[in-house]
Structure 1
Amino acid sequence: MDARALECTARGDVLRVVGSVDEDVVPVLRERLADFVAAHRGRMVWVDVSEVDFLPSAGIGALVGAQGAAVRAGGLLTLVAEPGTLPARVFALMGIEHDPTR
């Protein structure tokens, strides 16, 4: 997969991730998440993955790692996944807390 197929768009305190998070783009996702957390150091932010159509364990690890980085920076990162979406189902199966809407 081409990394351009993964779209990460920041608008205020929300980072919207769209596309497939396959193994080839996980480093891109990690970088975008790190930049987003750094830009919002000490604040509450949301990462909306409702439009992600493929999310392997490495992608989940990147998202959970960003949550930890946000906490270490004095903030909070909440994952957003609309009900019925692939990410919402994966989060529910894995016991990962997330917000159904933002």
Structure 2
Amino acid sequence: MDGRSLSFETQGDVLRVAGSVDEDIVAVLQERLADFVAGHRGQVVWVDVDDVDFLPSAGIGALVAAQGAALRAGGLLTLVAADGTLPARVFALMGIEHDATVARGTAG
């Protein structure tokens, strides 16, 4: 796969991910998350997955791993998934902490 099933948009300290995180494309997600965390070392950042419509366990693992990488770098990565979205339902079922929205006044 060439990355067309996923799109990414960075706005300051927010990375927005949209599309389908299928098993073939999870490496692209991992790379983008690693780059985003490295570019915001020691900062508070958000990854907004509201527009993700398919999220297998490998994708969840990539998101959780990025949270760990951010913590190790002295920062914090918060997953954002609005109530009722597929990611929010998955996170709730798995007990993964997330926010429904990006904290206002902090995102660029």
> Going by fraction, where is helix more abundant, 1 or 2?
1
Q: Does 1:84 align with 2:71?
A: no
Moved more, 4-13 or 75-84: 4-13
Query: How many equivalent residue pairs?
Result: 102
Deviations 1:29-85 (A, max 9, x none): 000000000000000000000000000000000000000000000000000000000
Overall identity of the aligned pairs, in %: 78
Matched ranges for 1:11-90 at <5 A: 11-90=11-90
Q: Does the aligned pair in 2 maintain the 1:3–1:24 contact within 8 Å? A: no
Which portions of structure 1, spanning 4 or more consecutive aligned residues, are displaced by more than 2 angstroms?
none
CA distance in 2, matches of 1:2, 1:22: 12
RMSD: 0.8
Give structure 1 stretches of 5+ with no counterpart: none
Moved more, 4-13 or 72-81: 4-13
Alignment partner of 1:18: what SS? strand
Give structure 2 stretches of 5+ with no counterpart: 103-108
